[in-house]
Amino acid sequence: MKPTDDSERSDRSRRRALLMQRLQAGDSDACRELLDDIGPAVTGFLRRRIADSGELEDVYQEVFMALFEARQTYEPGRPLEPWLFAIARNVAADHLRRHWTRASWQELAADPPDRPDLSLDESPGAAPDLAEALEKLPLNQREAFSMLKLEGLSLEAAAARSGVSVGAVKVRAHRAYKALRKLFGGA
């Protein structure tokens, strides 16, 4: 990563932290500026978790309302991103939990099929594609893998976005690689 990228990122982070402090003080201009600035980052974050755009927009609104309602929990002087993405992660996880619960109920309510569905190749030798394999990983490992390998983020940027330490991201990514290797039939 180029040093200028790091410096730009850290300037942006400082600016966001200052805007957040002004937002806490009730400055609506700072509020608009901050929300416009973080909007694309929140959208990108959510698009990696939610495929359906209708649902994504619902969750996007929920994230912004949650940021607004939890604004007193931001500690001035600290970087905004770990706080911001922790809230976005909680809201998205809450949404996914509700979604899965709803889907399970719908599945239970539906008529059971007469015969098992044999359209998918589930023989032991069949390797899953990457998307399927990623779905099988725990959320934090999937996130770590996606940020580092699919988005190409640095460890520091991935750690800041996840709101955890660099070490934790390394551990999660390592576990994800191991699990994927196993899923794809590697040693």
Partner 1 sequence: MTTFNASHHDQLHRALVDRIAGHLRPRRSLWPVRRRLALWLLLEIAVLLRTVTETRGNWAARFASIPYTFEILFFAAAGLILAAMALRAAIPGREARPWQTVLAIVLAISGIALLFVTPMRTDIPLSQFISVGVVCVFFTCSKAALPLIALWWAVRRGAPGNGRAAGAMVGSAAMLFSFAIMRIDCPLDEPLHLITWHLGPVIAVTVLSAVAGALWLRFPLRRHAVSY
Structure tokens at 178: 């191991």
The site map against partner 1 for 46-65 (x = CB under 8 A) is -x---xxxx-xx--xxx-xx
Q: Which of 5, 6, 11, 69 binds partner 1 (CB under 8 A)?
A: 69
Contacts of 45 (CB under 8 A, 6+ apart): 85, 88, 89, 92, 161
Residue 18, burial from CB neighbour count under 10 angstroms (0-12, 13-18, 19+): middle
Angle at 33 between CA 31 and CA 35, to 5 degrees: 65
| Complex with partner 1: residue 88 or 179, whichever CB lies closer | 88
Shortest distance, CB of residue 90 to partner 1, whole angstroms? 4
Neighbours of 94 (CB within 10 A): 13
The whole-angstrom separation of Cα 67 and Cα 24 is 11
Q: Which of 44, 68, 103, 130 binds partner 1 (CB under 8 A)?
A: 68
Name residues contacting partner 1, limited to 87-126 (CB under 8 A).
Answer: 87, 89-91, 93-94
| Complex with partner 1: residue 175 or 183, whichever CB lies closer | 175
SS3 169: helix
| Complex with partner 1: residue 28 or 123, whichever CB lies closer | 28
Going from the C-alpha of 97 to that of each of 19, 55, 80, the distances in angstroms are 32, 13, 26
Task: Establish if 26 lies at the interface with partner 1 (CB under 8 A).
Answer: yes
Task: Establish if 17 lies at the interface with partner 1 (CB under 8 A).
Answer: no
Residue numbers of the site for partner 1 (CB under 8 A)? 23-28, 31-32, 35-36, 39, 43, 47, 51-54, 56-57, 60-62, 64-66, 68-76, 82-87, 89-91, 93-94, 163
